[in-house]
């Protein structure tokens, strides 16, 4: 018969694990964590992040946008693409014989 009892709620009022519970989880051996803490940790992204990375939230540095390419570079790219398309049709014409 399946266990239908609900796990004990975390002791923190926000619903997440307290710092003491997080430190218990971090110091515990694999498989030696109380079941109610493990169940909560399995479903709470914020607590998973706190256990893995510590209490401080890591933020990513925002990268600057790369500069727009010059108009000369864009025109050269367009000319190369046009040359490739023309070469494709010349090759196709020589293979098929009528175009």
**Is the predicted pLDDT of residue 65 greater than 60, yes or no?**
yes
So where are the chain's domains?
19-53, 70-99
Q: Is the pLDDT of residue 99 over 70?
A: no
Express each pLDDT in 1-23 by its tens digit: 444 444 444 555 467 888 888 78
Q: Among residues 57, 35, 59, which one has the least CA distance to residue 46? A: 57
HEC per residue, the chain: CCCCCCCCCCCCCCCCCCHHHHHHHHHCCCCCCCHHHHHHHHHCHHHHHHHHHCCCCCCCCCCCCCCCCCHHHHHHHHHHHHHHHHHHHHHHHHHHCCC
Q: What is the mean pLDDT of residues 33-53?
A: 82
């Amino acid at each position: 018969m399946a266990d239908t009892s609900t796990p004990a709620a975390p002791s923190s009022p926000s619903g997440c694990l307290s710092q003491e519970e997080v430190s218990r989880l971090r110091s515990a051996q694999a498989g030696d964590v109380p079941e109610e803490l493990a169940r909560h940790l399995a479903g709470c992204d914020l607590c998973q992040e706190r256990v893995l990375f510590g209490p401080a939230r890591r933020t990513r540095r925002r990268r600057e946008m790369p500069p727009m390419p010059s108009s000369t570079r864009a025109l050269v790219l367009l000319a190369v693409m046009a040359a490739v398309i023309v070469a494709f049709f010349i090759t196709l014409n020589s293979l098929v014989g009528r175009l």
